[in-house]
Amino acid sequence: MQQEAMVREAATGNPEARFRQGSALRQLWETNLEVFQRDRMALFGLIVFAAFAIIAVFAPILAPNDPLTPLKNNEGDWIKDAMPYWLAEPGEDVAEGYTNDFVLGTTNIGRDIFSQLIHGSRAALLVGFSAAAAVAVIGTVIGLLAGYYGGWIDTVLMRAADVAFGIPFIPFIIVIAAFFDPSIWNVVIAMAILLWRDTGRVIRSQVLVIKEQAFVSAARVSGASDLRIIFVYIAPSILPLSFLYGSFAIAWAILTEASVSFLGFSDPETISWGFMLQDAFLSLALTRGAFYWIIPPGLCIMLTVMAGFFIGRGYEEVLFPRLRRM
Amino acid sequence: MNRKLKRLSTLFALLMLALALAAPATAQTMGEMIPPIIVHSVTQAERPIEYETTRLVVENMRELGLEVEHRAIPWAQLIDEIWYSRVEGEGRAERPFQMTYWRMVGRPERSDPDEFTYNLFHSSVRDGGYNFIGYNNADYDALAEAQRVEVGDKETRLDIICEAQQMIRNDMVNAYFVHPLTPQVVNTDVFNADSVVTQAGIGVHNFWTWIGIEPTGEDKTLITSTTSFLNSFNPLEIAGDAPSRVTEMTWDRLMRINPIGVAEPWAAESVVWEDPLNVVVTLRAGMKWHDGEPVTSEDAAYTFEAALAGTTQVDEDGKEEFRPEAPDYHPFARNVANIEIIDDLSVRYTLKTPSAAFETSSLAKLNLIPKHVWEPIINDLLTRDDADADSIQEEIPIGSGPFKYVAYDVNEFVLLEAFDDHWSRPKIDAWLMNVLPNQEATLGQIQSGEMNFLWEWPGDPGVLQDIVADNEHLDLFSAISIGFQYFAFNVRYAPFDDVSFRQAIAHTIPQQFIIDNIYNGFAAPADSFVSAALEYWRQCEDLPTYNFSIDGARELLAGAGYTWDDDGRLRYPAN
Amino acid sequence: MSRGVVYYIAGRFLQSVMVLWIIVTLLFLLFRLAPSNPLASYIDTTFTKQQEAALLARFGLDKPLHEQYIIYLVNLARFDLGDTFSYAGKSVLDILRADLPNTIYLTLSSLLVAYGVGVLGGILMAALRGSLFERVGTTFTLMTRAAPTFWVGMLLLTFFAFQWKLLPSSGIAPAMVRYRWETEWDKLMSPVFWRHMILPTFTLVVYLHGLPLLLMRSNMLEVLDQDYVTMSRLAGYREWRVMIQTAARNAMLPVLTALTLGIGYSIGGNVVIENVFSWPGLGRTLVRAVQQADYPLAQGAFFLIALIIVFMNFIADILYSLLDPRVGASAQAQVS
């Protein structure tokens, strides 16, 4: 994922994206419409995000239990390692360990897995979207400035991108996460610091093309200021590209947050899917064969990451017709 | 500058006015609100049991009307925020710690109550030593000193130890709740279960097992693992639990703590007290170092000399500071005033003050080191400022213990083999310890036979129990530890400087629930720093109990003048 | 090689050195942000203040920041990464020297397998374009790229190691085998080592094969559209020969560049997998060092990974310029 931009350059020799004419908003709207109309997989991705967004917003209502408080039985003891009832053998008594109340069973200290899963969508989407927004905004602005002004601004910004490309991503996040108090925002900050590089480079090269076009020259002649030209005339044309990278960044952020949580550098008070997997791993869920605990968080991660990929690819195919499958 | 001052004083006057106006309403009945409290523990990833326990207690504390933050951080950072942040303005934490989960682990030399009795609570070790909670009680100091010199009369010493335990329990400076039961597993296809020795307060992973365990067949290698770090192989460093297992086998000791917790002569044939200050140690004849050199009284003397070695330096304030070359062992040799070689095998140690614990915590603690190896090293260190014995790693460690070095890869594994020239040669041929932090892998290996001796298990004991039940070739052992788990209060500062407040917090710890649910029954209730495993030292009157009861805690607080405001927040007693 | 190319390479090299210098400087500053006492893992709890001061002096931590920085740069230039806090008597380089080969073996074996599978799969997908197989296959590949590697590793462990007990679960070999290895060659000749490699490699392949596959597929489709391919078709060559000889060869070049880049990034990305399988490599050491607050070691591991990435980026750049005449030409135009 992190090498995507460079690979794309390598693979395609930096193809010229297809841009539309017309008013800025209209262009944007049409591109977005085209992406989701023509690509059913991108539409699927959008639906997945929408569904998880709803789950995240209404998590406290949807989750039957508090995700962190262990559940207690009548004697006041924790209901530990309860298997989901639908996994019990038919005809078997729903005895201790099996319970109707918890759709996905409980963890080794009696936390409700289903409720954790629902609350986990909050961390995933929060990290995913804010990191993607940060990456897209920073990358777009840097790409615009570097491409438009050229000269030393371009040199400095692109060397900065080289530096960002040279810093190992996961190790960087681990160090950041270890040095600051545990929080899901560490991932967002680290991504914002490093991952603008892909977006920045690609957008810069597109700006180089666009700024030579007639409508930009016309604007310049009519006396528009540089900033106005950049943000009013050029930016709308490359916004779909930002969306493309933003979608990939969502996927990448969710995956990264999961990895960092899994390594134990997350905030234990914030339930995330990666945290759930770490908890399961440390609590010997593999030995217990507690698949009802291991599989669901992984599937959720996969689903949201795929959604990001699909949307990104949707944009890619509209913007870079050369890459389109035939 | 002046204007600022003026503005400040105006502000101050206004504030006083406001307070005076508000006074009739609150001052009579309520004190200040108790500021938010931070409770520390390690992270869930590091030690789930400690994290969950803390979480539980923090929630109960909130029910008292306290605002409590649970701060879970990695151990390395915790050391920094607790150990180095005990006093205002010290350390890198914003403020001194208030309350933390803490543990003391069982070690053989802790079989004598001296170490805990003295080091945890004596006011002299308040600033840099183990008394990090800042307990400062002259009556207690007197007891801790008295038990130390009570050499001859064990019963008088017991009375003193009991009184010390009473005092600590009453003052509630540490809220003990469990002595863990360490679950351990032995593969009985490979080893004879009857030959495994359980050492009181420690478990099966002890010196007596290492030399006594009998292989049943051709497989004569004991393979075990550790989840922690194996970062040193050094007789002059106390690096942690796993390295200690290795050093205690590679280097012999003059005495060893036997399975019931009493020091007995080992490499020494005899240990004779001439009077409370003079002890003559005579070595066994014919012992050899792993390089073939004979073990002599020179070495026995040098072992203490190395621990005492150091340089005195004067700091900027003109204060003299002694800097030992073996800082870990220096405290255990410090009481030695003079060492005299009598003949090839005998040495006389003269103490500065009588010490009941000298056998346990010095003769049975210091690793015998070969003078011909260490004298040049220590002499070199004495000329240098930038290093001490901790930073030394011998290429091939030389000891005189029943096992000798074969291979060592830092934080990966240690391989030892039986030393054929030892007078008590082990029954196994080789001893291997792998570093295996992954608990799933540990379980896999003990079942498959890749590992045949599991001594350290920080995970859920219930899982281990199930595994043993499913595998006929595995036997489960468990012993109450000398060590204990507790919450430590920084008694230097409010609100933890108030004994009633601390006692109330003690009532919020659901001891039995923790044992049943978090430890899965693998723990014994604790109420003192002397474990039930040390039966002799627990023959005391019953210690005060603090049953789990939020209402009880509230009553106690109310009795001490604490109040609750309309929002249910706890407030200090008025004035 | 023309002079222009040499100048281009020299220029890129200087640029890489500059980039590395900036990274190293950032790294230095980053580690001054560490929350714990820099010696927390080293200082024993029985230490006095004076001992602590002596230790700070020993590690050069008592000097002003700019002096520390210069010492740090000079040491780095001599490839002296300092002493570890938590491993007695070992330098950072000692530890990393033992880790690096393991990381490289895992990275290379997984990349080679992944790119082999990916290239063949990509050709297959291109050949079967439009079929149900192709659609399912592509979607499946996207799914494998979306699955967290550690989770895939956990699942594989559960079945292959714990349930069926077919493969070892962690490490590179039992210690009884390992201590007899005297050289890296002994290690590579040991079947036990390769058995331990299977699960982590497979886990990584599940993730890594996606990029070459998708890349190969789209390149193939593009190449197949070109005139010369149509020409060879018209010339009566069999379809598979057209696919392999003409199209695949041309579609391979970008995949090779991606592979070069992949080496650097995989070394940084393998951190998680190394921890799942307790693989004694750079990534596991980095995580441990950070957890133990062994900052010189963490810093050293980080530096080494960054060094490899920058170097591989440089190689990929050169490779790209040599393979793609457009870049070569423009590079020559730039410098001449």
Q: What is the pLDDT of residues B425-451, one digit of tens each?
A: 999 999 999 888 778 888 888 988 889
Smallest Cβ–Cβ distance between C324 and the set A13, A41, A298 belongs to A13
Backbone angles phi, psi at B496, to 5 degrees: -80, 0
What pLDDT is recorded for position B4?
53
Residue contact B440–A108, C-beta within 8 A = no
Cβ-proximal residues to C148 (8 Å cutoff; 6+ apart), any chain: A255, A258, A259, A262, A274, A277, A298, A301, A302, A305
Does C11 contact A at CB distance below 8 Å?
A: no
What pLDDT is recorded for position B5?
52
* Span A227-284, pLDDT tens digits: 888 888 888 888 888 888 888 889 889 998 999 888 888 777 788 999 999 989 888 8
What pLDDT is recorded for position C98?
87
Backbone angles phi, psi at A156, to 5 degrees: -60, -50
What pLDDT is recorded for position C87?
73
pLDDT at B357 over 60: yes
Check residues C261 and B301 and name the one with the higher pLDDT: B301
Smallest Cβ–Cβ distance between C88 and the set B79, B234, B321 belongs to B234
pLDDT at C269 over 70: yes
State the residue for tokens 């004697």: A75
Quick one: pLDDT band at residue B392, thresholds 50, 70, 90? Answer: confident
Residue contact B438–C278, C-beta within 8 A = yes
Task: Identify whether the C-beta of residue B202 lies closer than 8 Å to the C-beta of residue B481.
Answer: yes
Does B44 contact A at CB distance below 8 Å?
A: yes
Nearest-angstrom CA–CA distance, B31 and B249:
59
Check residues B376 and A321 and name the one with the higher pLDDT: B376
| Residue among B47, B125, B410 with most chain C CBs within 10 A, to mutate | B410
Does A96 contact B at CB distance below 8 Å?
A: no
Q: Buried b vs exposed e over C127-154: b needs ≥16 C-beta within 10 Å?
A: bebeeeebeebbeebbbbbbbbbbbbbb
The rounded percent of chain B whose pLDDT value lies above 70 is 93
Quick one: pLDDT band at residue A95, thresholds 50, 70, 90? Answer: very low
Provide the whole-model pTM.
Answer: 0.84
What pLDDT is recorded for position A276?
93
What pLDDT is recorded for position A6?
45
What pLDDT is recorded for position C58?
64
pLDDT at B7 over 90: no
Does A281 contact B at CB distance below 8 Å?
A: yes
Q: In what order do the strands lie in the sheet with B413-418?
A: B221-226, B430-435, B413-418, B403-409
* Span B286-326, pLDDT tens digits: 999 999 999 999 999 999 999 999 888 776 677 777 888 88
pLDDT at B240 over 80: no
Backbone angles phi, psi at C203, to 5 degrees: -55, -45
B-chain CB neighbours of A174 within 8 Å are: none
What pLDDT is recorded for position C142?
84
Closest to A42 (Cα-Cα) out of A255, A195, A251, A274: A251
Does C129 contact A at CB distance below 8 Å?
A: yes
Residue contact A302–C148, C-beta within 8 A = yes
| Residue among B46, B440, B518 with most chain A CBs within 10 A, to mutate | B440
Backbone angles phi, psi at C330, to 5 degrees: -65, -35
pLDDT at A30 over 50: yes
pLDDT at A14 over 60: no
What pLDDT is recorded for position A12?
46
Check residues C70 and C257 and name the one with the higher pLDDT: C70
Smallest Cβ–Cβ distance between A108 and the set B46, B440, B460 belongs to B460
C-chain CB neighbours of A41 within 8 Å are: 139
pLDDT at C55 over 70: no
Per-state percent for chain B, helix, strand, coil, to nearest 5: 35, 20, 45
What pLDDT is recorded for position C335?
30
Cβ-proximal residues to B293 (8 Å cutoff; 6+ apart), any chain: B370, B372
Residue contact A11–C283, C-beta within 8 A = no
pLDDT (mean) for B182-209: 91
- State the amino acid at position B147 in one-letter form: Q
- Tokens matching residue C309: 């990435």
What pLDDT is recorded for position A325?
43
C-chain CB neighbours of B323 within 8 Å are: 48, 50-51, 54
Q: Half-sphere exposure (CA, 13 Å, Cβ side) for C297? A: 30
Residue contact B467–A287, C-beta within 8 A = yes
What pLDDT is recorded for position A107?
87
Q: Report the range of poorest mean pLDDT among A85-99, B214-228, B427-441.
A: A85-99
What pLDDT is recorded for position A46?
92
Smallest Cβ–Cβ distance between B80 and the set C36, C49, C278 belongs to C36
What pLDDT is recorded for position B339?
95
* Span C150-199, pLDDT tens digits: 999 999 988 888 888 888 888 888 877 888 888 889 889 899 999 999 99
Does C254 contact A at CB distance below 8 Å?
A: yes
Does B441 contact A at CB distance below 8 Å?
A: no
Residue of C nearest to B234 (CA): C88
* Span B96-142, pLDDT tens digits: 999 999 988 887 778 888 888 988 999 888 877 789 999 999 999 99
The rounded percent of chain A whose pLDDT value lies above 90 is 28
Q: Report the range of poorest mean pLDDT among A121-130, B391-400, C55-64.
A: C55-64
Question: Average per-residue pLDDT in chain A?
Answer: 82
Residue contact B444–C86, C-beta within 8 A = no
What pLDDT is recorded for position A315?
84
Question: Average per-residue pLDDT in chain B?
Answer: 87
- DSSP type of residue C243: I
Cross-strand partners of B187: B474
Which range of A305-309, B151-155, B386-390 scores highest in mean pLDDT? It is A305-309
* Span B503-555, pLDDT tens digits: 999 999 999 999 998 888 899 999 999 988 888 888 888 899 999 999 999 99
Dihedral of alpha carbons B505, B507, B510, B515, sign:
positive
Smallest Cβ–Cβ distance between A284 and the set B46, B443, B517 belongs to B443
Q: Report the range of poorest mean pLDDT among A85-89, B370-374, B395-399, C37-41.
A: C37-41
Quick one: pLDDT band at residue B12, thresholds 50, 70, 90? Answer: low
What pLDDT is recorded for position B276?
87
What pLDDT is recorded for position B391?
76
Residue-by-residue DSSP string for A151-207 = HHHHHHHHHHHHHHHHS-HHHHHHHHHHHS-S-THHHHHHHHHHTHHHHHHHHHHHH
| Residue among B73, B81, B84 with most chain C CBs within 10 A, to mutate | B84
Nearest-angstrom CA–CA distance, B359 and B355:
9
What pLDDT is recorded for position A273?
93
A-chain CB neighbours of B44 within 8 Å are: 268, 279, 282
Q: Buried b vs exposed e over A242-264: b needs ≥16 C-beta within 10 Å?
A: bbbbbbbbbbbbbbbbbbbbbbb
* Span B406-430, pLDDT tens digits: 998 877 889 999 999 999 999 999 9
- Please measure the distance between the N-terminal and C-terminal CA atoms of chain B and give it in whole angstroms: 34
What pLDDT is recorded for position A22?
54
Quick one: pLDDT band at residue C235, thresholds 50, 70, 90? Answer: confident
